[in-house]
């Protein structure tokens, strides 16, 4: 099966990036053709103060990684979705925050109907909810 994983990976830090990367490795080891579509810029600094990236990978990087998504480039959301929809049988969106929903909805629209799209929701709602979080997650 041809699978596109959409989510953070190195140089992003933390469990989300580790999960996306490890999932790609394991799916590839099981014989699937896997690509990770990751972020060049995941969040504005205002929403995620502090260091978002690390220099040293927290695990083995996945070689089939593209970094064309940027929060400030909505055209990249659609373009990556269109590419994923053409190249994959399955597109899996790694969802860690409601902030990701607008890009993922646009990306989903770009996929069209050729690929099946699923959301891997790590936190359906954040521990510290903001207005609109529930509506965004329902929309996804």
Q: Sketch out the chain's domains with CATH numbers.
A: 2-139 (3.40.50.11930)
| H or E element in which residue 83 lies | helix 74-87
Residue 58 has a pLDDT of: 78
Question: pLDDT-derived band of residue 47, with 50, 70 and 90 as boundaries?
Answer: low
- DSSP letter string, 18-40: HHHHHHHHHHHHTT-EEEEEEEE
Rounded Cα distance between 137 and 46, Å, is 21
Q: What are the angstrom distances between the C-alpha of 13 and each of 32, 51, 82, 87, 129?
A: 25, 9, 27, 27, 22
51: number of Cβ within 10 Å: 7
Give pLDDT, residue 126: 74
Choice between 31 and 40, residue whose per-residue pLDDT is larger: 31
37-61 mean pLDDT: 76
Give tens-digit pLDDT for 91-129.
Answer: 999 998 888 899 999 999 999 988 999 999 987 787 777
DSSP label at residue 89: S
């Amino acid at each position: 099966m041809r699978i596109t994983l959409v989510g953070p990976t190195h140089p992003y830090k933390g469990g989300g990036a580790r999960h996306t990367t490890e999932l790609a490795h394991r799916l590839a080891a099981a014989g699937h053709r896997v690509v990770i579509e990751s972020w060049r810029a995941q969040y504005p600094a205002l929403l995620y103060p502090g260091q978002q990236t690390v220099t040293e990978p927290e695990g083995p990087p996945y070689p089939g990684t593209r970094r064309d998504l940027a929060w400030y480039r909505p055209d990249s959301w659609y373009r990556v979705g269109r590419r994923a929809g053409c190249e994959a049988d399955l597109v899996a969106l790694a969802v860690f925050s409601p902030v990701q929903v607008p890009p993922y909805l646009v990306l989903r629209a770009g996929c069209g109907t050729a690929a099946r799209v699923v959301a891997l929701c790590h936190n359906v709602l954040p521990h510290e909810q903001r207005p609109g979080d529930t509506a965004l997650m329902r929309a996804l």
